[in-house]
Amino acid sequence: MKFNVILPARLSSSRLPEKALADIGGKPMIIRAAEQALKSSANQVVVATDHQRIQAACTEHGIACVMTGTHHQSGTTRLAEAAQILGWADDEIIVNVQGDEPLIPPELIVRVAEKLAQSHAPMATAAHPIHDFAEFTNPNCVKVVLNQQDCALYFSRAPIAYPRDSMLAGEQKLPEPTPLRHIGIYAYRVGFLKQYAQMTESPLEICESLEQLRVLWHGHPIAVEVLDFAPPPGVDTAEDLARVRELFS
């Protein structure tokens, strides 16, 4: 199976300024994430950015990079432009790996690509079981529920599926089937990625602040690979960065 990886990277970040270039064990974070992607069986690994400092870091460390426009509001539209610049065919598979995932397991990248290759859906993502009630009710933990074909019915920050009876009884009890936490990694076929970039925003994605709901709103299925492990978290805060730096030291 052939697939490519693109890591969208911008310099600005509201919670952690210039985090793409934050030093982790002597290398910028975006380079660490790209090196993890290179450990997968990806045909090509490319950083897509709009900033020359990120491009320079990629050049210094031998990571392929394309310059994209400064107008992008999301990594998805940046991916679409990068795929067009690179001239990839509409049936090729792209995995979107976030540049703030310096510990992302290569296995996760491969499994999401394989899920898409084996599915009739135009897009795939991943999830893992939730075993902690506090995590189930935490709005920062995005949940997903699936149909019989392992495609997403809905993503939400709310606890879904909602265990009505146990909740009414005041029990802190996880529902059956076991709830799933969504992992923010996506695979697309290039043709659908171009189509996605043209889709209008949906009321649900604005309400939940979850961009993937745009795909469901417009009637397209999303295949979900269910893992038996929870991948390491990404870097969103200074505390996250300190934790990852300690691991690399």
**Which residues lie below 8 Å from residue 75, measured CB to CB, with a gap of 6+?**
8, 96, 98
Of 155-164, 178-187, 229-238, the one with minimum mean pLDDT is 229-238
All domains of the chain, ordered by start, with CATH?
1-104 (3.90.550.10), 121-182+192-231 (3.90.550.10)
Count helices and strands (H / E) in the chain.
Answer: 10, 11
Rounded to whole angstroms, how far apart are CA atoms 129 and 139?
16
As a whole number, mean pLDDT of residues 79-106 equals: 93
CB atoms under 10 Å from CB of 73, counted, come to 9
Q: What is the pLDDT of residues 209-242, one digit of tens each?
A: 999 999 999 999 999 999 999 999 889 888 999 9
pLDDT of residue 72: 62
Q: pTM for this one?
A: 0.92
Q: Is the peptide bond before 242 cis (omega within 30 degrees of 0)?
A: no
Q: How far is CA 52 from CA 83, 92, 106, 119, in A?
A: 19, 28, 27, 37
CA 68 centroid distance within chain: 19
Q: How far is CA 133 from CA 130, 156, 161, 173, 234, in A?
A: 8, 16, 13, 7, 22
Residue 142: pLDDT band (50, 70, 90) is very high
Q: What is the pLDDT of residues 105-140, one digit of tens each?
A: 999 999 999 999 999 999 999 999 999 999 999 999
Residue 14: pLDDT band (50, 70, 90) is low
pLDDT of residue 70: 66
Q: What is the pLDDT of residues 71-89, one digit of tens each?
A: 766 668 888 889 999 999 9
Rounded to whole angstroms, how far apart are CA atoms 68 and 83?
10
As a whole number, mean pLDDT of residues 39-58 equals: 94
